[in-house]
Amino acid sequence: MLRQLLPAGLVAVTAFPAAAQAPTPDRFAGFRVEAIAGWDNDRIGSGAAFGGALGYDRRVGRRVLLGVEGEATDSSIHYCRDYPSFGFRQCQDFGRDLYLGGRIGLQLSDTLMLYGKAGYANGRINLRIYDSSGSGAGHVDMDGFRLGAGLERAIGRNMVVKAEYRYSYYELGVERHQVVGGLGFRF
């Protein structure tokens, strides 16, 4: 009987230290999908930004992560200006905004990460002109770049929330400042 209990006892004793040293789940690495919403501002006005993002983060050190991400957002910024001398009205609004870039994160604790981001941005301005003969519409796509920084907090095993500031600069001298929040899920 002792011969039967001894192997079972050895397994039990060696299993407890292994369980005590088991790593905690990595809450910041892997694929993620996010919903984004917040404040959007440029020289013509302010509005709401809203959209979604996909990304992948990989741990490259004990506390450092590198990632890639893509985003598609829209905006509620809308502005109209009348030109009575010329007999028309021009309206413009920010349309879709696309972003593809990278980020580097520093894990501050088991549930908190500070990160910076940079990458390519492509914004669209929709234009409409109204005059006595009718109206016309078009859009301008602008290439540019985005820089940003934020805090991401893990909630549970697969959910994260974030707060982020970002600055985008597009050709034609168009600038944007945004403060957004996000809710994401990791796979």
Spatial contact of 57 and 29, defined as CB atoms under 8 Å apart:
yes
CATH 2.60.40.10 assigned to 26-186: no
Residue 172 CA to residue 121 CA, distance in Å, equals: 14
DSSP E strands in 76-111: the ranges are: 78-83, 88-107
Cα distances (Å, whole numbers) of residue 183 to 47, 158, 162, 170: 20, 11, 7, 27
Share of the chain above pLDDT 70, in %: 87
Confidence of residue 157 (pLDDT cuts 50, 70, 90): confident
Q: Where are the alpha helices (DSSP H) in the chain?
A: 2-20
- In degrees and rounded to multiples of 5, residue 86 shows phi and psi of -105, -5
Confidence of residue 28 (pLDDT cuts 50, 70, 90): very high
The span from the first CA to the last CA of the chain, in angstroms, equals: 47
* Whether the Cβ atoms of residue 55 and residue 28 lie closer than 8 Å to each other: no
Residue 23 clears pLDDT 70, i.e. is over it = no
Q: What is the pLDDT of residues 75-100, one digit of tens each?
A: 999 989 888 888 888 898 988 999 99
- pLDDT, tens digit, 9 for 90 and up, residues 125-156: 998 888 877 778 888 999 999 999 999 999 98
User: Residue 62 carries which DSSP code?
Assistant: S
In the numeric block, which tokens belong to residue 26? 């990595």
CB 70 within 8 A of CB 56: no
pTM, rounded to two decimals: 0.80
Q: What is the pLDDT of residue 13?
A: 41
Nearest to 185 by CA among 164, 157, 165: 157
By the 8 A CB rule, do 95 and 75 touch?
A: yes
Which of 17-31, 70-84, 86-100, 111-125 has the lowest average pLDDT?
A: 17-31
DSSP H or E segment with residue 1? none
Average per-residue pLDDT for the chain: 87
The answer, yes or no, to whether residue 25 has pLDDT greater than 70, is: no
Assess contact for 93 and 124: CB atoms under 8 A.
no
* Domain residue spans of the chain: 26-186
Q: What is the pLDDT of residue 72?
A: 98
CA distance 25 to 123: 37
- Would you say residue 55 has pLDDT above 90? yes
109: DSSP letter: S
pLDDT at residue 12, as a whole number: 44
pLDDT band at 24 (very low <50, low <70, confident <90, very high): low
Quote the pLDDT of residue 63: 94
